[in-house]
A and B are shown apart, each in its own frame.
Chain A
């Protein structure tokens, strides 16, 4: 997929607004296959430009959206009472674009504490009714703006502390929204309060656009709003970036390690420059805890690169990286190797380099890779952070340990080359698996896997947390997740199976279970985990008196590797499905200990 530069942070908002029609054409011309999603915008203000610009950022992220827009300020009526168009719209995402103008009653100076609390609750309950009705009717993802602060303060600075202050009232309401989001799956706050502060509240709330056209934020800031909402949506659909590929000299430290020597680099607390690079290193190290994979792509002697990373005053150390490519090869070649060795698409990588020439070569040679324009060192964090590459919408224990898992993978590969016989290698990994029905703590990860896995995925059925919860509770579903541990580490939840028991005897005389979900994370391919999963599925099927398993394969551009999976697992092909007789099945996995 070609990246449209006009839409990359930091973008020129005026240019996007003016050229949005030709930018849209350009995006659609590249012939990329995109996932399709239905997005309803329920607005408390005018939404025309919001839908048009959001459309662009989503196309850039590989999402082709169809939009429903409520009439001006009909967000409440649409949600609560519906209307034929909205009722017929099969929404995947509902974005509730409201703001401070949609607060109906603010405190008055003569109000007592109880009155103000009642007003606050009334505001919150009105919104909660909207959300719960949307969940009930559409069962989809909801994104809700919180509120910008008011652009004027009757009480001046006391507005934040006095119970009558609007600033305080908004802060309390935002806290209630945030608390609701913290305990509600599929519900995300779009943090307008933060974004408006970053853009400037006076510009955001410019009364010209509100009074003339009922636009809030001001029209020139709509691209900022849309970019930020698009980041949530692409994250929900598994389109975040996954790894950073970093240059060293003048990117992670000031100076050239090969020329200056590691002891003379600007890194640490001794100078302003040193502190700047130190803070950037700290920021990257924190990214690691989110599961972002750190890698090096640098023109350097390997020994010098390591010496630089070990320099006194560094926040990072060589152990923080999965792959370190320090050599004199072209950077685009190193980057492609990194993608291959990590088993990631190039479009999952972010290339960070202070040198514009290197950036240009990489973005020209490797379409799809993100190459942010890095300015001066003190703006590095801002540039990466505001680009929203790694927007977090769900966070699992797996994310926390992802770097360790990938590192263990590299070690496994080294071990594999030492074994002549593949089965010996697998036995030597000392694998144990936990294969159990879906349970609460793993449901977010299961949903994440259904949205992320493309290659080993028989049906490419994307499931929200709510969908997975439904399967887990339904008697007519057999659900299994598989967690795999070996001597190099815990791979976490890597496989998902779900089969629906149906009474219709479509393929046999007995009781049939159709396998609707069968997928595996790429990090554990060729480990015989698919056999272990099937062994357990058959056991569960027997418990439920299922006699026949029915396997389905829905081909996509990316899942060719599993076209013959069911045949390899011992199923018999019958027209367009695969059949397995449960009674005569014998366990097949010999290299993994179960539970």
Chain B
């Protein structure tokens, strides 16, 4: 799947979860750049991303992902079924 498409989907999820239409995520976006991104919102992101891409993250992945770039790498590696 195209990286661009993944970012597009992630961007939409971030905007919904944080209820902020200004958000534009890139590879370096992390919990320091988004103020409300705490551990409780992290799980909400995880659930929304899993649903959107039809995948399950492992516990290691959930705790390991430090920024959006790492999320995208995991999603790409899974070769997920997001329809275009």
Measured CB to CB, the nearest residue on chain B to A219 is B47
A211 to B40, CA, bound (A): 14
- Of the candidates A18, A48, A212, A213, the one whose C-beta lies within 8 Å of that of B16 is A18
A215 to B51, CA, bound (A): 18
Q: Is B24 an interface residue (CB 8 A)?
A: no
A426 to B33, CA, bound (A): 74
Q: Is A14 an interface residue (CB 8 A)?
A: yes
**Chain A residues near B62 (CB, 8 Å)?**
212
Inter-subunit contact B19/A21 (CB<8 Å): yes
**Chain B residues near A49 (CB, 8 Å)?**
40, 44
Q: Which of B43, B62, B63 has the most CB of A within 10 A?
A: B43
Q: Is A339 an interface residue (CB 8 A)?
A: no
Inter-subunit contact A212/B43 (CB<8 Å): yes
Q: Is A238 an interface residue (CB 8 A)?
A: no
Inter-subunit contact A18/B43 (CB<8 Å): no
Inter-subunit contact A219/B43 (CB<8 Å): yes
- Of the candidates B17, B19, B39, B44, the one whose C-beta lies within 8 Å of that of A219 is B44
Measured CB to CB, the nearest residue on chain A to B36 is A21
Inter-subunit contact B19/A18 (CB<8 Å): no
Inter-subunit contact B47/A17 (CB<8 Å): yes
Q: A48-B40, A213-B43 are in contact. Are A208 and B16 (CB under 8 A)?
A: no
Q: Is A258 an interface residue (CB 8 A)?
A: no
**Chain B residues near A25 (CB, 8 Å)?**
19
CB distance from A225 to the nearest CB of B (A): 14
Bitwise interface map of B from 40 to 67 toward A, beta carbon under 8 Å scored 1, else 0:
1001100110010000100100110000
Measured CB to CB, the nearest residue on chain A to B13 is A18
Inter-subunit contact B17/A18 (CB<8 Å): yes
- Of the candidates B19, B40, B47, B63, the one whose C-beta lies within 8 Å of that of A14 is B47
Which parts of A210-247 form the interface with B (CB within 8 Å)? Answer: 211-213, 215, 219-220
A213 to B40, CA, bound (A): 8
Measured CB to CB, the nearest residue on chain B to A22 is B19
Q: A19-B16, A22-B16, A22-B19 are in contact. Are A212 and B59 (CB under 8 A)?
A: yes
**Chain B residues near A213 (CB, 8 Å)?**
39-40, 43
CB distance from B12 to the nearest CB of A (A): 9
**Chain B residues near A19 (CB, 8 Å)?**
16
Bitwise interface map of B from 16 to 35 toward A, beta carbon under 8 Å scored 1, else 0:
11110000000000000000
Measured CB to CB, the nearest residue on chain B to A207 is B59
| Interface residue tally for chain A (C-beta within 8 Å) | 18
Inter-subunit contact A14/B51 (CB<8 Å): yes
**Chain B residues near A211 (CB, 8 Å)?**
59
CB distance from B77 to the nearest CB of A (A): 19
Bitwise interface map of A from 148 to 191 toward B, beta carbon under 8 Å scored 1, else 0:
00000000000000000000000000000000000000000000
CB distance from B46 to the nearest CB of A (A): 8
A19 to B13, CA, bound (A): 9
Inter-subunit contact B39/A17 (CB<8 Å): no
A215 to B16, CA, bound (A): 21
CB distance from A70 to the nearest CB of B (A): 15
CB distance from A58 to the nearest CB of B (A): 19
**Chain B residues near A22 (CB, 8 Å)?**
16, 19
Q: A19-B16, A213-B39 are in contact. Are A14 and B44 (CB under 8 A)?
A: no
CB distance from A513 to the nearest CB of B (A): 53
Q: A22-B16, A22-B19 are in contact. Are A17 and B59 (CB under 8 A)?
A: no
**Chain B residues near A215 (CB, 8 Å)?**
43
**Chain A residues near B18 (CB, 8 Å)?**
21
- Of the candidates A46, A48, A208, the one whose C-beta lies within 8 Å of that of B59 is A208
**Chain A residues near B59 (CB, 8 Å)?**
208, 211-212
Measured CB to CB, the nearest residue on chain B to A209 is B43
Which parts of A1-34 form the interface with B (CB within 8 Å)? Answer: 14, 17-19, 21-22, 25
Measured CB to CB, the nearest residue on chain B to A222 is B47
**Chain B residues near A220 (CB, 8 Å)?**
47, 51
CB distance from B48 to the nearest CB of A (A): 4
CB distance from A15 to the nearest CB of B (A): 9
Measured CB to CB, the nearest residue on chain B to A12 is B51
Q: Which of A14, A18, A46, A211 has the most CB of B within 10 A?
A: A18
Measured CB to CB, the nearest residue on chain A to B44 is A17
Measured CB to CB, the nearest residue on chain B to A48 is B40
**Chain A residues near B44 (CB, 8 Å)?**
17-18, 49, 219
**Chain A residues near B48 (CB, 8 Å)?**
14, 17-18
Measured CB to CB, the nearest residue on chain B to A24 is B19
Instruction: List 7 extra interface pairs beyond A18-B47, A212-B62, CB under 8 A.
Output: A17-B44, A17-B47, A49-B44, A213-B39, A215-B43, A219-B43, A220-B51
Contact sample, A vs B, 15 pairs, CB 8 Å cutoff? A14-B48, A17-B44, A17-B47, A18-B13, A18-B16, A18-B17, A21-B18, A22-B16, A22-B19, A46-B40, A208-B56, A209-B43, A212-B59, A212-B62, A213-B39
Q: Please report A residues at the B interface, Cβ cutoff 8 Å.
A: 14, 17-19, 21-22, 25, 46, 48-49, 208-209, 211-213, 215, 219-220
Complex A-B, nearest 9 residue pairs according to Cβ-Cβ distance, in ascending order: A21-B19, A14-B51, A18-B48, A18-B16, A48-B40, A213-B43, A219-B47, A19-B16, A22-B19
